[in-house]
């Protein structure tokens, strides 16, 4: 008998909804003992809340994770499928991501993620598996190490990918295209906390592959954590400044030679392709009573794009015109209506299921986003056909969180492409509904 992924997802949802108790509350003082940054409750450096469970529990083994269900409606109008990446234009998404954490001793921790997602849209369906496996070695509060297949420390969403940590049903376009979400690479990262005001990360990992780039999604197609790319180590650095408890200022960078010195032929000559990628990103977040504000931006450059065109033509059969420069940013204010009306409970519930009401929230948010995958194009490639995501996006929506482990989300996304290609909609209005669980 064939078991449909949807059935598996809903069975897991029922089990989690009725059985799971609240994690994170049975804790030790990990912020002091293990160098946690402390500016987001229950989050260890570089990780979401569910992924951080083992660092805050006194148990030797923990089981945690998150699940998402998302639906995108547009009244049957054509969708923008130019990216050729179903994750960017799906109608239905089912994602289940469990974590297993092991405390080997007081200084060594092992974390394994077994993420799986099922997508449907445009008459297509896909099943993806995205694992992580890494070890943390706690040396001092100011110096620890993470080794293995791990998320990069860049942007906002990549380290806050769990559905209760961001407002919209889907992640912002800037952090799906310019900074590909679920950006996982193999390598080693040093991190630590300084003076309870600064925390940092410096990573050396495998890098992106230029031969897999797509014009519509900049470097996203080459960011699959492939082990073959270790011949050119990528450098990733991040610094977070926490002047007060409710303010975070973050800056991060990434550099890698994505061409891997692969050879192309030009005018009967052979040339090695380096195609250096440089990305800088930053965000600021301010939380004050019922109000929250986050602003995020990123800017990236890619060298040797004419050579990348020939390399992708050799590898994919079609040459890809990739932007020499790409950028994106968004700003998102939100207001918790329950806090404004004084209806938020302050009673702490230490057990129960995901439908228990404890400190409920009802944030209403609006987001403006602007991005361009081809803000600059090499002159010799300008007249070629290529797909450009030059987007202007408005979004309005709300979340209902009966507790800190369950959320119902709804938003409307007004997506305008300022430079649409043939057969690509110039504008889309998308209605998005989703639920998220952290367990």
Q: Is the pLDDT at 23 greater than 50, yes or no?
A: no
pLDDT at site 345: 56
Q: What's the pLDDT score for residue 269? A: 82
Q: Is 19 helix (H, G, I), strand (E, B) or coil?
A: helix
282/249 Cα distance (integer angstroms):
8
Domains of the chain: 5-438 (2.40.160.10)
Give the number of other CB atoms < 10 A from CB of residue 367: 20
Q: Do 237 and 202 form a contact (C-beta atoms < 8 A)? A: yes
| pLDDT tens digits for range 381-432 | 999 999 999 999 999 999 999 998 999 999 999 999 998 777 788 899 999 9
Burial tier of 333 (Cβ tally within 10 Å: 0-12, 13-18, 19+): middle
Question: What confidence tens digit (pLDDT) does each residue in 421-439 have?
Answer: 777 888 999 999 999 999 8
Six-digit token string for 396: 């309005």
pLDDT at 338 over 70: yes
pLDDT tens profile 252-269: 999 999 998 888 887 778
User: Which residues are within 8 A (CB) of 337 and not within 5 positions of it... i.e. 6 or more apart?
Assistant: 290, 362, 363, 364
Lowest model confidence (mean pLDDT) among 104-108, 264-268, 315-319: 264-268
- pLDDT at residue number 227: 63
What backbone torsions phi and psi does residue 35 show, to the nearest 5 degrees? 80, 20
In sequence order, which ranges of 163-272 are alpha helices (DSSP H)? 174-177
CB atoms under 10 Å from CB of 391, counted, come to 20
If one compares 203 and 36, the residue with the highest pLDDT of the two is 203
The whole-number average pLDDT for the span 211-223 is: 93
Spell 227-246 as b/e; 16+ CB within 10 A means b. Answer: eebeebbbebbbbbebeeee
The answer to whether 104 and 86 have CB atoms below 8 angstroms apart is no
| pLDDT on residue 224 | 77
The span from the CA of 318 to the CA of 221, in Å, is: 14
Does residue 43 contact residue 36 with C-beta atoms inside 8 Å?
A: yes
pLDDT at residue 379 in the model: 95
Higher pLDDT, 156 or 270: 156
Q: Radius of gyration of the chain from Cα atoms?
A: 22
Are 152 and 203 spatial neighbours (Cβ–Cβ below 8 Å)? yes
* pLDDT band, residue 143 (cuts 50/70/90): very high
In terms of Cβ atoms closer than 10 Å to its own Cβ (0-12, 13-18, 19+), residue 405 is buried
pLDDT at 19 over 80: no
The answer to whether residues 55 and 417 touch, using CB atoms and an 8 Å cutoff, is no
The whole model's pTM is what?
0.89
- With helix as H, strand as E and coil as C, how does 3-44 read? CCHHHHHHHHHHHHHHHCCCCCCCECCHHHHCCCCCCCCCCC
Span 142-168, average pLDDT = 94
**d(Cα 167, Cα 410) in Å, to the nearest integer?**
9
Phi, psi angle pair for 76, to nearest 5°: 80, 5
Per-residue model confidence as pLDDT tens digits over 339-392: 998 875 555 554 456 678 888 999 999 999 999 999 999 999 999 999 999 999
Contact 264, 273 (CB under 8 A): yes
């Amino acid at each position: 008998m064939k078991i449909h992924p949807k059935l598996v997802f809903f069975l897991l949802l029922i089990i989690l909804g009725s059985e799971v108790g609240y994690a994170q509350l049975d804790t030790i003082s990990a912020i002091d003992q293990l160098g946690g940054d402390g500016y987001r409750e229950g989050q260890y450096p570089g990780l979401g809340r569910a992924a951080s469970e083992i660092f805050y529990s006194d148990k030797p083994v923990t089981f945690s994770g998150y699940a998402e269900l998302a639906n995108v409606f547009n009244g049957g109008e054509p969708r923008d499928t130019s990216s050729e990446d179903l994750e960017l234009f799906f109608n239905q998404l089912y994602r289940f991501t469990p974590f297993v954490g092991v405390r080997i001793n007081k200084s060594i921790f092992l974390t394994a993620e077994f993420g799986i997602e099922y997508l449907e849209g445009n008459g297509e369906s896909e099943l993806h598996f995205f694992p992580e496996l890494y070890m943390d070695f706690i040396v001092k509060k100011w110096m620890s190490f993470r080794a293995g297949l791990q998320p990069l420390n860049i942007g906002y969403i990549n380290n806050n990918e769990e559905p209760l940590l961001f407002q919209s049903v889907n992640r912002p376009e800037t952090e799906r295209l310019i900074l590909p979400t679920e950006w996982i690479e193999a390598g080693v990262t040093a991190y630590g906390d300084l003076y309870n005001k600064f925390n940092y990360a410096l990573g050396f990992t495998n890098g992106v592959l230029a031969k897999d780039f797509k014009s519509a999604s900049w470097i996203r197609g080459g960011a699959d954590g492939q082990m073959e790319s270790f011949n050119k180590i990528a450098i990733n650095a991040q610094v977070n400044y926490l002047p007060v408890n409710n303010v975070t200022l973050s800056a991060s960078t990434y550099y890698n030679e994505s061409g891997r010195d692969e050879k192309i032929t030009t005018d009967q000559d052979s040339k090695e392709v380096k195609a250096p990628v440089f990305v800088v990103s930053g965000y600021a977040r301010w939380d004050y009573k019922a109000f929250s504000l986050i602003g995020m931006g990123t800017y990236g450059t890619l060298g040797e794009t004419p050579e990348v065109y020939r390399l992708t033509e050799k590898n994919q059969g079609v040459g890809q015109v990739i932007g020499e420069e790409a950028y994106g940013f968004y700003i998102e204010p939100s207001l918790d209506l329950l806090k404004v009306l004084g209806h938020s409970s302050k009673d702490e519930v230490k057990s129960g299921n995901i439908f228990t009401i404890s400190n409920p929230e009802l944030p209403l948010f609006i987001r403006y986003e602007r991005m361009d995958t081809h803000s600059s194009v090499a002159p010799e490639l300008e007249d070629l056909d290529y797909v450009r995501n030059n987007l202007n996006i408005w979004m309005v929506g709300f979340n209902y969180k009966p507790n800190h482990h369950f959320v119902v989300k709804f938003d409307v996304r007004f997506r305008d492409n300022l430079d649409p290609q043939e057969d690509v909609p110039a504008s889309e209005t998308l209605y998005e509904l989703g639920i998220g669980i952290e367990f």
